[in-house]
Amino acid sequence: MRCLSISILVPTSTMMILSAMTSTVRAFVPRSKQLRPVAQNILGGIQNNNNNKRLRLSSSSQEQQEWTTDKVRSTFIEFFEGQEHTMQPSSACAPLNDPTLLFTNAGMNQFKPIFLGQVDPNSPLATLKRAVNSQKCIRAGGKHNDLEDVGRDTYHHTFFEMLGSWSFGDYFKEEAIDYAWTLLTEVYKLDPERIYASYFEGDDNVPKDTEARDFWLKYLPPDRVIGCVAEDNFWEMGDIGPCGPCSEVHYDRIGGRDASALVNADDPDVMEIWNIVFIQYNKDEKGLSSLPQKHIDTGMGLERVVSILQNRSSNYDIDVFIPIFEEMAKYSKVGSYEGKLGEEDSTLKDTAYRVIADHIRTLSFAIADGAVPSNEGRGYVLRRILRRATRYGQQILQAEPGFFQKLIPVVVKTFGEAYPELVKNQATITEIIAEEETAFSTMLDRGIKFFGDLEEEMKSEGKKEVSGETAFYLYDTLGFPVDLTELMAEEAGLTLDTKGFANEMETQKTRSRAARAAAKSGGSPQLEFIAEQTAALTDNNVFPTDDSFKYKWDVELPATIMSIFGPDGFYKDGESAKAGDFVGLVLDKSNYYPEAGGQEADIGTIRLLDADDKVTGTFEVRDVQSYGGFSLHKGIVEDGSFTNGAHVNCRVDYERRRLVTPNHSMTHVLNAALRQVLGDNVDQRGSLCNDEKLRFDFTNKKAMTADQLRKTEEICQQVVKDSLPVTATTMPLAEAQAIEGVRAVFGEVYPDPVRVIQVGDDCSIEFCGGTHMSNTAEAEAIVLVEETAVAKGIRRITAVTRDAAREAIEEGNRFEKMVVDLENLEVKTDGLDKKAGAMRNEVDAAFISVTLKADLRGRIEGVQKKANEIKKAALAQRTAISNDVRSLVLNVDIGADSKASQQVLNAVKKIAPDMAFMGISEEERGSGGKIMAFALVPESLVDCGLKADEWVRETLEVCGGRGGGKPGSAQGQAPTCSDVDAVMTASKSFAELKVSVEA
């Protein structure tokens, strides 16, 4: 724990001189980003003489208790509730229902539909005028990424809480500034003399925000109301979308001086604490346009304002970090936290403390909200954060592996009252972090060993620079952060080619971007409504689409085209969409189901009618999306000329919908079945329902067993056989939430009233707006065809119904007969193990029940086991030769079956543990096709120079193959091989050479 510092009283005359000098400097420094460092350096030089005997604002325990983090948070919320703001609970810091966002990085994220004009009219958000909350945020990826700064200073975090207040088309600049001033000076009682406000100074596109400036001048003198450039004081949601100028509140920790030149200059003592954004424009490829409604979006960093109220010079010295540091000190072998920075922290001990304390909060909150470490997206960021913390703990603090998971209880105790999800999910958080920490500790050991070998090799060759390619291998394959590689290189007297590493990273990113672009290429133009479009429709007296007909069946619905939207915007009256045009049609009413809740949108046709109701044109509907209640029917004009006001006839492809609805209804049944088999901890994490399959993601800590899958499938199949009714009831949200056992998707926002789907009397009851069958018998059959991992703790089941299910059942029967025929073959049948291996490959790829697949695999392995016993006996005879034989190369007839190769190696270990062995096998003997090589070398011969990985590479080089592994065991393949004898000869020669050299 950091010691309290002593306050040094600086004479008033000295402070006056310093203030005058800083004012003089400020007068000659333009407010530009380029010249701010100059001002900072000059002011830094003026103040350096006092920094060692710093006016470091000491804190007493009484001050800490007065403004605890919990009290600061609750005071903020209570203040705005008193100003008629609605308390809107924090959304998850990992937005599972928004794949476009890695993490919730600002309080406004959950209100995006309001800003974008896409909110469902029936959603509770639609009536929200004022809101307040404390939002759990993570900034560790994407546009807002503070990861690399964490630990190096006193105020950056990957996880933090954002105190926020909002006005949605209600009050604007004056009230927002009034509220901010009142809260800061009258409630929190911050010193008004230390407060600075910034406003947007204007540019070629947007005028100076004189309104905000003038409102601040009611409270502050002109020299503390500062105009700043767009980089600091113009806020944008993204490259396009709602945006506007902002006004920041900065606070000078030191006081008694003119610190205006340090505003927005990254000085830790002149810190931005609150940002008030005036959302008044929309930005698109054409530029800026005024929004129909103006909004307020504010955000204040909780940790920052707490550090000020507790008179702490560091965010990491506030009350919520102290218990974490005290717990960490129990596992540190290099001492407790001292709060040192920069050169003072030469061992990086205190940097490590800050990193670990920050990262354990991030991971605990993210996992509690349903995110898990994985190899992609937000999961990869979490894995990187965990590995970074683990490395700092083990390398810098010299903590034992497993220390990180031991910090979870103190995090839960500190934050659990405000965020009960931490308490509820503590066991899951611990299990996931423990597993990840254990896995990386092993990787850490491997990486250190790899680097040790590399260092020895480089020094023997006189090399001084670790290549970027090698660093990238450590990073990409072994999970080693590049900063660890650089540190190890420095300790070894080597350098790292950071530019080469960056090039390798960029190459990987380029490949990834190219893959994504290729996946998207060939598609149709992207058509989407945001606030500007939905507002324009409203201004033109176009009402939201009446889509209540989407639950009707086999109806052709007459409708009127209210608006046509194309890549260049809305079509004007008199303009028409003609054959070949890809556009979106907004109708007054529609029977099309727009994509929602995991269910794909309806497709079909919209027919153009003349005054006599004759068809004069057709429009192919390829997709339907709903934006703010407006259904946008996207597709292509096949023939005719479509104009605003035209009469049309909507024809949904109901035959396709009849394939979709059983899949959707059966996800509800599957959800219930999984809870019955696995327990009540199962939660839905996503779904996909289309005309081909259903896909259901759910929480489960490990792969389901064959028995669990069988029980789940049997429950679902029985529900189909029982012909249970499926009913839909619309009711008030509060009433629906009170239904015992009702299920809702984690993180989903539901409309009010909400639609409730019930299957049978007690099978399933869920909130859902999708289309459903009326009876489970309509599914005809259901087969679970796959169970796999999505991420840590998240599993996915894929299933099929109706025709696809019957096809899977028939295919399963065919394979079962084939396995019976295999089992009836004589054990001594020539090539039996090879036939069994080929059949297992066919079963693996077969479209059959996952439970049947597991059963057939087991039976095939039984056949292989019997056949391998014969091989083992033959192998034993061939190895029972002279003790002088140190190595053996055999052509083993097992095809390209890697599992069978492992069985052969296991047999060799038992029969001849001191002999080096290589097996070579063709996929099909004499075909010239794929060939496989696998090797086993005892430690005694590895020490002599015969290494399995080198042996495999040399062997396969003859036919252009590749391989790898460890010195003790390795394997590899070549796609083609026309001369197996040459491969055998090369293998024997290499082994004999190594053994003879040793002899």
Domain assignment of residue 545, yes or no: yes
Annotated binding-site residues read 664, 668, 768, 772
Q: What's the rounded Cα separation, in Å, for the pair 25 and 39?
A: 7
Q: Mean pLDDT across the chain, nearest whole number?
A: 85
Annotated binding-site residues for Zn(2+) read 664, 668, 768, 772
Both 267 and 169 in one domain: the answer is yes
Specify the pLDDT at position 926.
Answer: 65
CB 415 within 8 A of CB 320: yes
- The stretch 251-263 carries a mean pLDDT of 94
Both 981 and 940 in one domain: the answer is yes
Res 763 pLDDT > 90: yes
Specify the pLDDT at position 523.
Answer: 55
Both 197 and 303 in one domain: the answer is yes
Domain assignment of residue 852, yes or no: yes
Record the tokens describing residue 950, joined without a space. 């080198």
Record the tokens describing residue 291, joined without a space. 């929004």
Share in percent of the chain as helix, strand, coil (round to 5): 45, 25, 35
Both 669 and 538 in one domain: the answer is no
Both 905 and 949 in one domain: the answer is yes
752 CB-near residues (< 8 Å, 6+ apart): 122, 123, 124, 732, 733, 734
How many domains does the chain contain in total?
5
Q: Which of 310, 335, 354 is the last residue of a domain?
A: 310
Answer with the residue of higher pLDDT: 866 or 498: 498
Record the tokens describing residue 813, joined without a space. 């029967």
Q: What's the rounded Cα separation, in Å, for the pair 267 and 690?
A: 54
Q: What is the CATH number of the domain that holds 743?
A: 3.30.980.10
Residue 12: band (very low, low, confident or very high) from pLDDT cuts 50, 70, 90: very low
Both 674 and 803 in one domain: the answer is yes
The secondary structure element, H or E, covering residue 560 is strand 556-566
487 CB-near residues (< 8 Å, 6+ apart): 395
For residue 914, count CB atoms less than 10 angstroms from its CB and return exposed for 0-12, middle for 13-18, buried for 19 or more. Answer: exposed
CA distances from residue 828 to 226, 819, 864, 868, 870 in whole angstroms, order as listed: 90, 17, 11, 10, 8
Q: What is the CATH number of the domain that holds 975?
A: 3.10.310.40
Res 24 pLDDT > 60: no
Tell me: the pLDDT tens digits for 520-544? 434 567 888 876 688 788 778 898 9
What percentage of the chain exceeds 70 in pLDDT? Answer: 86
- Looking at residue 6, its amino acid is I
CB 265 within 8 A of CB 37: yes
What percentage of the chain exceeds 90 in pLDDT? Answer: 52
Among the listed ranges 112-116, 272-276, 552-556, which one has the minimum average pLDDT value? Answer: 112-116
The secondary structure element, H or E, covering residue 798 is strand 794-801
Domain assignment of residue 59, yes or no: no
H helix count then E strand count, the chain: 29, 34
**Closest C-alpha among 594, 787, 637 to residue 702:** 787
Q: Which of 862, 881, 900 is the last residue of a domain?
A: 881
Residue with tokens 């005290």: 326
Domain assignment of residue 503, yes or no: no
Residue 181: band (very low, low, confident or very high) from pLDDT cuts 50, 70, 90: very high
Both 805 and 715 in one domain: the answer is yes
Domain assignment of residue 487, yes or no: no
Both 892 and 877 in one domain: the answer is no
Q: What's the rounded Cα separation, in Å, for the pair 945 and 953?
A: 15
CB 227 within 8 A of CB 200: yes
Both 643 and 775 in one domain: the answer is no
CA distances from residue 491 to 332, 455, 494, 747 in whole angstroms, order as listed: 21, 11, 7, 47
Res 34 pLDDT > 60: no
Record the tokens describing residue 920, joined without a space. 């070579």
Res 28 pLDDT > 60: no
Domain assignment of residue 468, yes or no: no
* Alpha helices per DSSP H over 342-481: 349-368, 377-391, 408-415, 420-424, 426-460, 468-476
Both 774 and 907 in one domain: the answer is no
The secondary structure element, H or E, covering residue 278 is strand 270-284
Q: What is the residue range of 408's domain?
A: 321-443
Domain assignment of residue 516, yes or no: no
Task: Give me the residues paired with residue 782 across strands.
Answer: 801
Both 767 and 802 in one domain: the answer is yes
CA distances from residue 238 to 100, 164, 280, 389 in whole angstroms, order as listed: 12, 19, 15, 31
- Looking at residue 919, its amino acid is G
Residue 837: band (very low, low, confident or very high) from pLDDT cuts 50, 70, 90: confident
Q: Which of 277, 310, 343 is the last residue of a domain?
A: 310
Record the tokens describing residue 445, joined without a space. 């050991």
Both 616 and 677 in one domain: the answer is no
Reduced to 3 states (helix: H, G, I; strand: E, B; else coil), residue 168 is: strand
Domain assignment of residue 484, yes or no: no
Answer with the residue of higher pLDDT: 648 or 446: 648
- The stretch 148-165 carries a mean pLDDT of 89
Residue 169 dihedral angles phi and psi, to the nearest 5°: 70, 20
Specify the pLDDT at position 140.
Answer: 82
